[in-house]
Amino acid sequence: MSDINNVLSIKKLSKTFSQGDEKLKVLDNLNLDVKAGEFVAVMGASGSGKSTLLHLIAGLLKGDNGSEIELSGNNYSNFSDKALTKHRLENIGLIFQNYNLVRSLDITENIRLPLLLSSKKAKQDNIDKYIDDLGLSERRNHLPRQLSGGEQQRVAIARAIIGEPELILADEPTGNLDLNSGNHICELLRSIADKRKQTIIMVTHAPHVAFYADRIIMLSQGNIATDMQKSEFADSGALSKHYQDILQQQLNG
Ligand SMILES: Nc1ncnc2c1ncn2[C@@H]1O[C@H](COP(=O)(O)OP(=O)(O)OP(=O)(O)O)[C@@H](O)[C@H]1O
Ligand SMILES: [Mg+2]
């Protein structure tokens, strides 16, 4: 019986990519529990499997045989593809690097889209609030192609959080943003975790971004190398130093 405080429970998660005869084991027997309302940062060298992990948690990829992922007590292996899609739409907000905005819809319509697809009620007030909060007021009736990369990123963030999903997965959400806009996004995610008890798993390479989280996980060699509370680091400089050590370990691996 899994712990009811865990919104996410991952057991023996492995992922092998096959290309012809070559097999690449990206994740190897990884276990991870995340509590409701926890804000977790995932760090690790390029290629260490961070995006793969988020895709598996989102149910966009399937793990190797024997892998188990349970979100709010629902084991993915019990779902058909269709049921998994519905589950994702209703419970997970995705902030991924290819923004996947619908080209023919304006910004307001793009943000409202997940609410229309699921049965959740769209409150115009809420949508307006997010648009203002993310500095997109002047852009609300623009199409995605009329926006900069950073603006599109902010629309993707609004879209992911509007339905108040219990789990938000963010893959380098500040990757295309300048320092100020990036910090603003981090503060927004922090307040979502604090006020709404939504759970956030965020991949980042930047120690000052990871420092907004409660808990920092480092991936190396297909598994979790360290899993620490933010409070264990004196400051983001100490976190940065630790991250360098992990990167070095992966290089030596
Ligand atoms: N669909 C795929 N087919 C084959 N190999 C893949 C596939 N997706 C990812 N990989 C490989 O798996 C490894 C992990 O990729 P992943 O994208 O998860 O890394 P990452 O930690 O997110 O890296 P980055 O920091 O550069 O975004 C890489 O070596 C990548 O080439
Ligand atoms: Mg990645």
Query: What are the structural domains of the chain?
Result: 6-252 (3.40.50.300)
Report CA(8)–ligand 1 centroid distance (Å).
22
Sign of the C-alpha dihedral computed for residues 123, 83, 51 and 208 taken in this order: positive
Q: Which tens digits make up the pLDDT trace of 164-184?
A: 899 999 999 988 788 888 898
For a mutational test of ligand 1's pocket, the pick from 13, 15, 24, i.e. the residue with the most ligand atoms closer than 8 A to its C-beta, is 24
Q: Which ligand is nearest to the CA of 47?
A: 1
Per-residue confidence at 99, pLDDT binned at 50, 70, 90?
low
Spell out which residues line ligand 1, taking CB within 6 angstroms.
17, 19, 24, 26, 44, 46-52
For the chain, the average pLDDT equals 90
Report CA(26)–ligand 2 centroid distance (Å).
12
Say what percent of the chain tops pLDDT 90. 56
171 three-class SS: strand
Give the bridge partners for 228, in sequence order: 216
For a mutational test of ligand 1's pocket, the pick from 18, 22, 25, 50, i.e. the residue with the most ligand atoms closer than 8 A to its C-beta, is 50
Q: Which tens digits make up the pLDDT trace of 196-230?
A: 889 999 999 999 999 999 999 999 999 999 999 99
Q: How many of the other CB atoms lie within 10 Å of CB of 188?
A: 18
Distance, CA of 163 to CA of 160 (rounded, Å):
7
242 or 4, higher pLDDT: 242
